[in-house]
Amino acid sequence: MIVIEVERADVQERTGTRDNGQPWKIRNQVVYAHLFDAETGSLKRYPTEVKLRLQDDQKPYQPGFYMLSPTSIYSDRYDALAVDAHLVAVDEAIKLAGLAVTQRVPKTDHAKTQDKAA
């Protein structure tokens, strides 16, 4: 799981005009992602600064710790796995993940599984 730390509620906004004359706007919030090192499998010592894209009418996330909402991960129009980061409080993320696992993953008897493997 990825833990996201928000230090400030500041929003960076960029605007412009497309070649066809239509205006565009991009709103980002700088946050810090506590990521795992792929080589060691452990949490990196320092968080990585990343930009989190906000919708035009979305309020910025307030300082605190968050996790990705399960709704952040979806199948895009090409049926590829995609991520559009939506954050929820850590306790809410844990509750949602636990609910998803208990509803979809069959329970196994670990003792039986280990006996068969031996």
Residues 25-40 pLDDT 10s:
999 999 999 999 999 9
Instruction: Flag whether 95 is in a domain.
Output: yes
Residue 118: inside a domain? no
Q: Is residue 33 part of a domain?
A: yes
Summarize pLDDT for 67-95 with one digit per residue, the tens. Answer: 999 889 999 999 999 999 999 999 998 89
Q: Per residue in 41-68, pLDDT tens?
A: 899 999 999 999 999 999 999 999 999 9
pLDDT at 16: 96
Output the domain CATH number for residue 88. 2.40.50.140
Q: What is the pLDDT of residues 98-114, one digit of tens each?
A: 888 888 888 776 555 55
Number of domains into which the chain is organized: 1
- CA distances to 14, 36, 73, 79 from 94, rounded to whole Å, are 34, 18, 15, 26
